[in-house]
Chain A
């Protein structure tokens, strides 16, 4: 036995070799690959023909081959679907943020009897899966005569988005110092002006969080349009894209090109707002 024999305690574990940060880096890199993998495959497949997709799903395609994209644009109703999705998502988000912020502002900044109950009422909405209520909802929409209109979708989405938005915004607005409000009041600002000019600019990170948090599921939602919308001219993107999936054959290249184009807006929005999003996520934590 030499003097240099390693004992169990001398052996360096993985944590010691890499350090805590190194380990975190590796986990993050693996996570990134898992997250980005499907996106990259989708991106590649959008430039391939059906045959190429099945022969070599991971190969880098010829990016000059934009036949799929051209086909999507010219031979399908893609543009119509895109516009529909934008209208439905856009108006839902505008309504969610406007109504949600106003409700949250009232709950957070004014003391009134039952404010706790109102907040609980909104938050209770979080526990309610609207999809379970699809049949009553269908009947309701039919009786209101708004089946097959975008309004039916917007109403559902606003109802779905409000609980989280009110919850997030209330928490945020509560953290704003009272003295700011008092200062504005001394300056002669009316209540709406205090909300608009003083408080809202300060909760922008929270607005972005609520916005993104709602945009993604609404933009991607397949279920409610499937039930409420039958007219092709009113279909949203996820619903419209299924028309490319035939019963017997599917043009995967075109489908992927459609997916690429439909996911692009949300990804762009996220990239543009990511800084605010991250700021907002950490704002409450680091103080």
Chain B
């Protein structure tokens, strides 16, 4: 059991505040992903949970036990580092045995655990090798194995895929998902890649500038982003954000005309941000159709479908997903249509989501 509670967690290095009060409630056996651009504080938060850095303010509890002052090795946590941090002078067996020996387990138990972990990770033929004699993927598995033999309640992974080549990444990603199910503990995974976050997580913590922007399931984040940051961070290609002015039940975009949309947000704000994903947009060469006027900048043919990049009247460049057959010359005048059921509204001033 490893329910974790973070309340008002702060961290500052000298006079620089890196985390400004993080509140999270993580349930047992959850797969949590911290995602955000580099420098957003996600790795710092992970190090605070691990106990490698001291918490400047707030409280961190595991199962209602305060953990702020508990040594890293006594928190029931194991961590896989970005660089793997294998001990270079020890072979694979020794690497895995180092921690459990310090836990004071007897020899047979140590051997049993290493045997178990190396079977699970297919490391048994490599036990006598030194880290430098292993490939990147193998080192990664040893690093995970070293964490698993400690039988942690919480497993922390810091950008574990960033040092692997693209082909290996999806394999290891599946492997990590499988391990999480088999071990049955809580996993916290840090990445800057939203695809990894979306595919692995039960719940995602989107972070930016030392704050949590949104905490929710991948579906929630995608379908109901809490603000413009989450809206553009999750989903690829990015969601288009249009600064529109509301006039009755139609939305006007500077230089591109206006568009009537049903179910406008209840708030009385006139200045809105309209968020639309590329797949909820369509291009129409019939310029009399309903939508925002713009001109084609270029088209990107990707086999299955085509992305058309359109410059709207106010200078915004948006991408529109079209079928593979779409072939538009640059500078063609088009009208961009919007699927009314898939739009998001945000306040221009707070950048927060506005309820429909």
Contact = CB atoms under 8 A, between A and B. Distances in A.
Nearest to A188: B73
B73 A187 contact: yes
A183 B89 contact: no
A192 B227 CA distance: 48
B164 interface: no
Given A179-B81, A179-B82, A197-B98, A185 B52 contact: yes
Contacts of B74: 188
B50 interface: yes
Nearest to B147: A186
Contacts of B73: 185-189
A260 interface: no
Interface in A66-90: none
Given A177-B83, A193-B102, A197-B98, A186 B50 contact: yes
Contacts of A201: 89
Interface in B70-86: 71-74, 77-79, 81-83, 85-86
Nearest to A180: B85
B36 to A, nearest CB: 20
B113 interface: no
Given A187-B73, A188-B73, A202-B89, A182 B81 contact: yes
B354 to A, nearest CB: 43
A182 B98 contact: no
Contacts of B50: 182, 186
Interface in B151-208: none
A186 B89 contact: no
The A contact surface, by secondary structure, is helix
B103 A188 contact: yes
Nearest to B78: A186
Contacts of B81: 179, 182-183
B88 A183 contact: no
B338 to A, nearest CB: 48
A112 to B, nearest CB: 14
B8 interface: no
A148 B188 CA distance: 66
Contacts of B86: 183
B99 interface: yes
Nearest to B47: A182
Contact of B87 (A186, A188, A198): A198
B150 interface: yes
A173 B262 CA distance: 66
B170 to A, nearest CB: 25
Interface in A128-186: 177, 179-180, 182-186
Nearest to A179: B85
Nearest to A201: B89
Nearest to B77: A186
A177 B87 CA distance: 11
B67 to A, nearest CB: 14
Contact of B85 (A183, A188, A193, A197): A183
A96 B40 CA distance: 45
Contacts of B102: 187-189, 193
A188 B72 CA distance: 7
B306 to A, nearest CB: 44
A194 to B, nearest CB: 11
Interface in B81-107: 81-83, 85-89, 98-99, 102-103
A186 B88 contact: no
Interface in B43-72: 47, 50, 52, 71-72
Interface string A19-46: 0000000000000000000000000000
Nearest to A190: B102
Contact of A185 (B72, B82, B103, B146): B72
A186 B52 contact: yes
Nearest to B89: A201
B292 to A, nearest CB: 50
B245 to A, nearest CB: 51
A179 B146 CA distance: 14
Interface centre among A177, A183, A186, A198 (most CB of B within 10 A): A186
B89 A182 contact: no
A187 B61 CA distance: 20
Contacts of A189: 73, 98, 102
Nearest to B149: A187
B139 to A, nearest CB: 13
A188 B98 CA distance: 9
Contact of A187 (B82, B83, B88, B150): B150
A202 B52 contact: no
A183 B73 CA distance: 10
A183 B79 contact: yes
A175 to B, nearest CB: 13
Nearest to A189: B102
A206 B99 CA distance: 27
Interface string B136-147: 000000000010
Interface centre among A185, A188, A189, A193 (most CB of B within 10 A): A188
8 contacts: A180-B87, A183-B85, A183-B87, A185-B73, A186-B77, A187-B99, A188-B102, A189-B98
The 9 closest A-B pairs by CB, nearest first: A188-B73, A187-B99, A179-B85, A183-B85, A188-B102, A201-B89, A179-B81, A186-B72, A182-B52
Given A182-B81, A187-B146, A197-B98, 15 more contacts: A177-B83, A180-B87, A182-B52, A182-B79, A183-B81, A184-B87, A185-B52, A185-B72, A186-B72, A186-B77, A187-B99, A188-B102, A189-B102, A193-B102, A202-B88
